[in-house]
Chains A and B, each alone.
Chain A
């Protein structure tokens, strides 16, 4: 595996072999956060069964750390209940990756926001408020 300076092996591994890449076409919830003006944009789609995240996929337009953090957050929340998934923080994501350079901590924050946005969208749809 190619290593990239101050990134951990785990970050490099998730960047080069990201998990759960793609988009669920009939998703129950979609979260999109960020934009090209700020740098990174992430989309997470989820399928929810019996209150658990049965399937999850992501697309990230951004740097290697943004791809690795989104990949890791999908791994951390897959199979969890929605409440459990909402407890996953950006620090959990960064810790699971063996740490992030300080300048890339915002990537883990955006990844946390992406899953929270997908769950929020799911709940809005369930409440009949429409969705993305």
Chain B
């Protein structure tokens, strides 16, 4: 499937499909997905989706994601998401984040 197909899947009602699509877009290096991935990181109700969105944003290396990753690294309700966001931020900026 091409990037446009995975972008559509980010809108699926099924959380597992959204998280899979986020992973695929990160693997593909699809920077056009950055705004949609930021939205997922900021507001998706599912922890796995937010976690994968954070990972994908780290892979894509687009500085537009820095504020959202910083916020998630500090304030996400899930410890796993906070950890993944800090790791992604480290990959993106080269600066190691603290706990």
Contact = CB atoms under 8 A, between A and B. Distances in A.
A37 B16 contact: no
Contact of A117 (B1, B14, B55): B14
A37 B51 contact: yes
A102 interface: no
Interface string A27-68: 000011111111001100000000000000000000000000
Contacts of B19: 33-35, 38
User: For the side of the interface on A, what is the size category?
Assistant: 10 to 19
Given A37-B55, A132-B5, A31 B17 contact: yes
Given A37-B51, A117-B12, 19 more contacts: A32-B17, A32-B20, A33-B14, A33-B17, A33-B19, A34-B20, A35-B19, A35-B20, A35-B24, A36-B23, A37-B52, A38-B19, A38-B51, A114-B16, A116-B14, A117-B16, A120-B13, A132-B1, A132-B5
Interface of B: 1, 5, 12-17, 19-20, 22-24, 48, 51-52, 55, 84
Interface of A: 31-38, 41-42, 110, 113-114, 116-117, 120, 130, 132
